[in-house]
């Protein structure tokens, strides 16, 4: 067995730790609950905001193809997640999988990385929710700003603060209750999306799809150097606006819309029949949202020319251009409902990763204590406070791309991990087996790396700084408090 920072935590030990009385989670979730969580977290920003803005500024009508490309990358990674989640049904998702495969240092790295996906993602979407709250209040005649500038860099976003506090309270009361609330909200927002597709289809004009991939155009005033995609920089292009580089960059941007389907894996420990339900929950939710995204993108770009869309455009913009004012109001309400569940499930994922890391001693163990309701209440409070601070006072800025690169990095490690665990632990029972190993995991890695290359140079630099900061935290705390290393020093490795 490896020791030190490369020590791996056996699958058996991970499963055994789930039975500790003080840190035991309640098993309440079914396949339906997992599908609901998956759809709840994914159907949100992508449908109501990203499709329109990306079509107008990056890809044109080919934004629908960009969604397909992003979905393929997610689907390949989902095959790998499904095998891991059904083999190691323990909270923590990619963090737990990496601990069993690559060792403690990599596990810490991916756990720190997941903060970018879940906690930062929660803050970003909370701010989007606050903007839609302002629009909905305006519809009913209340022109009340939800955000106030504090001067300079900071602002006070009371709308985002309100949402995070309410959702943190709900999550502390139990995962099953959260699932029920999420189910109601998800039915409402999917219904609104279907209504939008049906109404918008009647206004589609074939000429708006031409050219499907617009010719490459010079980038905006600031699009060069650090702000262009890494791939276009290496390819010698001046920008990634329209053309083939625009399509590729768009796939990386709309990937943000799929973020969260992997949150299903973080609930493995709370699922009644994880071996059966987890793969179904992952694939079911991903299939549903892909169909919805592509349909909305096709209708949107068919209703109005992409040249009439810009970085501030939303799904409501297309209906407004055609004078369908009632649809604007319905879409704003749908976005408000939709983004509510996105934030809730992203926070749920962050809480479970934090819980798993704390149970292993890499973060303070007190955060792994569960309440009488069987939820990690302390971890919930901490995540709620941190997300509230970021969402309330800091601008969203380029945080979306930070979330993307963090998620893609996690997908790469999980995909490689399937190959490694097949070789090191071929004896493990696997309720779901990724097909065509190592081909599918390798394709997943290549697809994710390709999407990462289409993110900006600036994003890569910020990601590097974030990861270095995480290594510093590990060196000064996690390395010295690891329960696995304590067991090794005492000779108890079971």
Cis peptide before 211 (omega within 30 of 0): yes
Angle, helices 158-172/104-139, rounded to nearest 10 degrees? 120
Distances (CA, A) of 307 to 19, 52, 295: 58, 11, 20
* Dist. CA 172–CA 149, nearest whole Å: 31
pTM of the model: 0.82
Structure tokens, 219: 């980038």
Tell whether 489 is covered by a domain. Answer: no
How many C-beta neighbours within 10 Å does residue 198 have? 11
Alpha helices in 88-103 (DSSP H): 94-101
Averaged pLDDT for residues 312-336? 82
Tell whether 490 is covered by a domain. Answer: no
* Dist. CA 36–CA 18, nearest whole Å: 24
Tell whether 83 is covered by a domain. Answer: yes
Distances (CA, A) of 28 to 89, 265, 274: 14, 15, 11
pLDDT above 60 for 326: yes
Helix (H) or strand (E) holding 155: strand 155-157
Tell whether 480 is covered by a domain. Answer: no
Q: What is the CATH number of the domain that holds 70?
A: 1.20.1740.10
Q: In angstroms, what is the C-alpha Rg of the chain? A: 22
> Closest by alpha carbon to 341, among 144, 137, 158, 193?
193
What is the CB-side half-sphere exposure of residue 395 using CA atoms within 13 A?
9
* Dist. CA 339–CA 330, nearest whole Å: 14
Model confidence over 355-370: pLDDT tens digits? 999 999 999 999 988 8
**Phi and psi, residue 309, nearest 5°:** -110, 150
Domain range spanning residue 337?
A: 4-457
Residue corresponding to tokens 């990462």: 452
pLDDT above 90 for 179: no
Q: Please report the pLDDT score of residue 91 as a whole number.
A: 79
> Using the 8-state DSSP alphabet, how is residue 57 labeled?
I
> Closest by alpha carbon to 341, among 163, 192, 92, 173?
163
pLDDT above 90 for 271: no
Averaged pLDDT for residues 375-386? 92
Model confidence over 276-323: pLDDT tens digits? 888 888 888 889 999 999 999 999 999 999 999 888 787 878 888 888
Percent of the chain's residues with pLDDT above 70:
91
Q: How does residue 268 score in pLDDT terms, banded at 50, 70 and 90? A: confident
Q: Please report the pLDDT score of residue 53 as a whole number.
A: 86
The mean of the pLDDT values for the chain is 84
Q: Please report the pLDDT score of residue 220 as a whole number.
A: 46
> Closest by alpha carbon to 228, among 214, 245, 213?
245
Tell whether 479 is covered by a domain. Answer: no
Q: Which residues is 156 bridged to in the sheet?
A: 148
Distances (CA, A) of 351 to 246, 344, 381: 36, 11, 9
Model confidence over 407-461: pLDDT tens digits? 888 889 999 999 999 998 899 888 889 999 999 999 999 988 888 887 777 888 8
Q: How does residue 221 score in pLDDT terms, banded at 50, 70 and 90? A: very low
Tell whether 486 is covered by a domain. Answer: no
User: Taking the C-alpha atoms of 408, 41, 124 and 90 in order, what is their torsion angle to the nearest 10 degrees?
Assistant: -60
Q: How does residue 397 score in pLDDT terms, banded at 50, 70 and 90? A: low
Counting Cβ atoms within 10 Å, is residue 209 exposed (0-12), middle (13-18) or buried (19+)? middle
Are 292 and 193 spatial neighbours (Cβ–Cβ below 8 Å)? yes
Helix (H) or strand (E) holding 253: helix 243-254
pLDDT above 60 for 219: no
Tell whether 494 is covered by a domain. Answer: no
Averaged pLDDT for residues 141-152? 84
The total number of residues written for the chain in this structure: 494
Tell whether 72 is covered by a domain. Answer: yes
Percent of the chain's residues with pLDDT above 90:
26
Residues 6+ apart with CB under 8 A from 22: 368, 369, 370
Q: Please report the pLDDT score of residue 398 as a whole number.
A: 52
Model confidence over 22-70: pLDDT tens digits? 777 888 888 888 888 888 878 875 677 788 888 988 889 999 999 999 8
Averaged pLDDT for residues 459-483? 91
Are 280 and 97 spatial neighbours (Cβ–Cβ below 8 Å)? no
Q: Please report the pLDDT score of residue 399 as a whole number.
A: 63
pLDDT above 50 for 222: no
Model confidence over 67-84: pLDDT tens digits? 999 898 888 988 998 898
Provide the domain count of the chain.
1
């Amino acid at each position: 067995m490896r020791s030190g920072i490369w020590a791996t935590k056996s699958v058996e030990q991970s499963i055994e730790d789930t039975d500790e009385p003080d840190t035991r989670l309640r098993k309440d979730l079914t396949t339906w609950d997992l599908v609901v969580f998956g759809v709840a977290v994914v159907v949100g920003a992508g449908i109501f905001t990203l499709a329109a803005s990306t079509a107008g500024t990056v890809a044109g009508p080919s934004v629908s193809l960009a969604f397909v490309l992003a979905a393929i990358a997610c689907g390949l990674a989902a095959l790998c997640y499904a095998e891991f989640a059904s083999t190691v049904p323990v909270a923590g998702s990619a963090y737990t999988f990496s601990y069993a495969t690559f060792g403690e240092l990599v596990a810490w790295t991916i756990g720190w990385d997941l903060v970018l996906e879940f906690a930062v993602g929660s803050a970003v979407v909370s701010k989007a929710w606050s903007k839609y709250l302002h629009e909905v209040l305006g519809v009913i005649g209340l022109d009340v700003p939800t955000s106030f500038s504090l001067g300079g860099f900071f602002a006070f976003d009371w709308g985002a603060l309100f949402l995070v506090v309410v959702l943190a309270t709900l999550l502390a009361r139990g995962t099953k209750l959260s699932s029920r609330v999420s189910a109601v909200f998800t039915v409402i927002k999917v219904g609104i999306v279907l209504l939008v597709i049906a109404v918008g289809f009647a206004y589609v004009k074939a000429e708006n799809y031409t050219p499907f991939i617009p010719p490459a155009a010079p980038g905006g005033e600031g699009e060069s150097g650090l702000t262009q995609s890494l791939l276009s920089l290496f390819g010698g292009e001046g920008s990634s606006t329209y053309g083939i580089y625009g399509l590729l960059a768009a796939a990386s941007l709309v990937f943000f819309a799929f973020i969260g389907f992997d949150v299903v894996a973080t609930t493995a420990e709370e699922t009644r029949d994880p071996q059966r339900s987890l793969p179904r929950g992952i694939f079911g939710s991903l299939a549903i949202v892909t169909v919805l995204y592509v349909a909305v993108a096709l209708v949107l770009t068919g209703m109005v020319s992409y040249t009439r869309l810009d970085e501030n455009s939303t799904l409501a913009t297309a209906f407004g251009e055609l004078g369908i004012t009632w649809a604007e109001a319905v879409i704003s309400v749908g976005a408000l409902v939709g983004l509510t569940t996105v934030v809730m499930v992203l926070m749920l994922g962050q809480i479970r990763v934090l819980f798993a890391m704390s149970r292993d001693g890499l973060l303070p163990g007190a955060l792994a204590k569960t309440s009488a309701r069987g939820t990690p209440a302390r971890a919930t409070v901490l995540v709620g406070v941190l997300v509230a601070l970021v969402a309330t006072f800091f601008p969203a800025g380029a945080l979306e791309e930070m979330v993307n690169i963090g998620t893609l990095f996690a997908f790469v490690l999980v995909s490689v991990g399937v190959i490694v665990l097949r070789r090191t632990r071929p004896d493990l029972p696997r309720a779901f087996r990724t097909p065509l190993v190592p081909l599918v995991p390798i394709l997943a890695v290549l697809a994710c790396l390709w999407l990462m290359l289409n993110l900006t140079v600036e994003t890569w630099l910020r990601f590097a700084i974030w990861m270095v900061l995480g290594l510093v935290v590990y060196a000064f705390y996690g390395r010295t408090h690891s329960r696995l290393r304590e067991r090794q020093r005492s000779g108890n490795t079971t």
